[in-house]
Amino acid sequence: MGWAALEQWGDDVARIEPLAGGVANDVWSVRLNGHLAVGRLGARSDADLAWETGLLQHLDREGLIVPLPILTRDGRLFAEGLVVMTYVEGGPPETDGDWRRVADTLRQLHRLTRGWPQRPGWRSSTELLHAETGTKIDLGAMPPEGVARCRAAWTRLVGRRTCVVHGNPHNPGNVRMTADRVALIDWDESHVDVPDLDLVLPHNAAGLDHPAYDIAAQASAAWDAAVCWDDEHAVKRLAEVRPV
């Protein structure tokens, strides 16, 4: 059905222009009843979209600033793979202090989602110690030596409490800041995992000590390599993971 599904949000709705950052999805600015919004069209399953939109509603209720799903005319959170969300104003983090505020927001996310169920079809980094696949990850497509390096990095996370991780908060484009609040957008990579994966930020803004930062950085590089394999970025990230 594609973008024709947009009519399910009403009569006064139209696409405006494509937005940057839509790799796995087609993302556009949308005018809805005279207000600016964001539409995201992709191939995610209904179960996947229900998990993500339910998470965003929960975080909004708890006071985090996130894109909030806008209901269709008949009260649904999404339709035919399309989600329409509120537009979040702000700019990217620029200073050390900005990134420390991002780290504080991420830790709040982690506190609010302890014990959260896993995103349908996904696996955490430590689950991939014994599994080959999970949504975008297929370890069978990677060189065996690379898989061994990734798993060695993830082994250092075993036994830690899990929660929802944003998945890509170190990308400045996924943060919208103003003087009085920090918002996280683009939750397409969010899933349940060890919070360390979110805390490898510019300037070590999360304030991790050297051993903790090394564990988190190695695990994060391994995750990026596996989830993107085998594009140029993934190859570069795998090179950062130490040999076994």
pLDDT at 1 (0 to 100): 67
Does the pLDDT value for residue 29 go beyond 90?
A: yes
Confidence band of 237 (pLDDT split at 50, 70, 90): very high
Q: 225: which 2 tokens?
A: 């390599």
Confidence band of 128 (pLDDT split at 50, 70, 90): very high
Phi–psi pair at 224, nearest 5 degrees: -60, -40
Domain map (residue ranges) of the chain: 2-86, 96-239
The beta strand positions in the chain, using DSSP E, are 13-18, 26-32, 35-41, 82-86, 133-134, 137-138, 163-165, 175-177, 182-184, 191-193
Confidence band of 67 (pLDDT split at 50, 70, 90): very high
Confidence band of 21 (pLDDT split at 50, 70, 90): low
The beta strand positions in 110-225, using DSSP E, are 133-134, 137-138, 163-165, 175-177, 182-184, 191-193
To the nearest whole number, what is the mean pLDDT of the chain?
95
Which CATH class, in words, describes the domain spanning 2-86? alpha beta
pLDDT at 22 (0 to 100): 54
pTM of the model: 0.94
Average pLDDT over residues 111-136: 95
> Exposed, middle or buried: residue 3 (CB in 10 Å: 0-12, 13-18, 19+)?
middle
Give the containing element (helix H, strand E) for 155.
helix 144-155
Confidence band of 136 (pLDDT split at 50, 70, 90): confident
Q: Kindly report, residue by residue over 170-217, the tens digit of the pLDDT.
A: 999 999 999 999 999 999 999 999 999 999 999 999 999 999 999 999
Q: Which of 29, 30, 32, 79 is nearest to 53 (CA)?
A: 79
Q: Kindly report, residue by residue over 53-65, the tens digit of the pLDDT.
A: 999 999 999 999 9
